[in-house]
A = this chain, B = another copy of it.
Amino acid sequence: MPVSQSLHLSVDCVVFGYDNNGIKVLLINQKGIPSDNTHQPLTQLPGDLILMNEGLQQAAERVLFDLTQLRGVYLKQFHAFGDPNRVKDLKDRAWLQSVRHLPDQRVVTIGYYGLVSLQDFHPRPASFARSVQWADLGEIGQLAYDHNNILDQAFEALREQMESHHISFELLPKKFTLTQLQSLYEVVLDKKFDKRNFRKNVKKMTHVIPLDEKQTGVTHKPAQLFSYNPHK
């Protein structure tokens, strides 16, 4: 019986970055392969094989760090992708042959997504990432493997989480103004909200707590900062 004796398992991280100009995604560019000029280095999500003794969540965090040096991003599992041919595409062959011992092996991957404030997280490439970029969600070209699909489903998951108001506040910046929170909602859900109504709703959420602290360095009335208490 041909069971899953030899199957690779990976994690892929879809890290959304947020500032006042919209939503971006963290992508890495593969290193070129020195002795191969047929290889077009592709862009992909940060992801790699898991190690034998680490948990899945742990693997996602490690892989994200290994490739982009980001730490402390809250990652949430959203889906496993296991099409037997998901890494068999021609465009991906040269690269896989250069980085894997068994490049033809089937790879099942577990997708994680996260959301960070662009001001707080500054990725730097490492390992097999030649470079790292925050790419605009609207302007993503072809990615390696089935990563366009993974990205779409990750964004869908993020959106659903916000819509259902089951917000993991782990996904949000630690300190924020209500205007920032509102425009995050607006850009993710692609909807406008009324400022006063939005604030009324936030005040009902007992896990959103006002701090004794104000914005500084702004050229207008400084806003109150808020934080969240995940244990509520």
Contact = CB atoms under 8 A, between A and B. Distances in A.
A3 B82 contact: no
A45 B161 CA distance: 28
A7 B52 contact: yes
Given A77-B79, A82-B110, A84-B55, A3 B7 contact: no
A9 interface: yes
A230 interface: no
B106 A82 contact: no
A4 B49 contact: yes
A102 B7 CA distance: 14
Interface in A150-205: 160, 163-164, 166
A216 interface: no
Nearest to A81: B56
Contact of A49 (B3, B83, B110): B3
Contacts of A166: 160
Is the interface on chain A under 10, 10 to 19, 20 to 34, or 35 or more residues?
Answer: 35 or more
A5 interface: yes
Greatest chain B CB density within 10 A among A7, A106, A160 is at A7
A128 B4 CA distance: 18
Contact of A56 (B77, B80, B102): B80
B4 A52 contact: yes
Contact of A83 (B51, B55, B101): B55
Contacts of A59: 82
Nearest to A84: B53
Given A2-B51, A3-B51, A56-B81, 15 more contacts: A3-B8, A3-B50, A3-B52, A3-B101, A4-B8, A4-B9, A4-B10, A4-B49, A7-B9, A7-B52, A52-B106, A56-B80, A80-B80, A160-B164, A163-B164
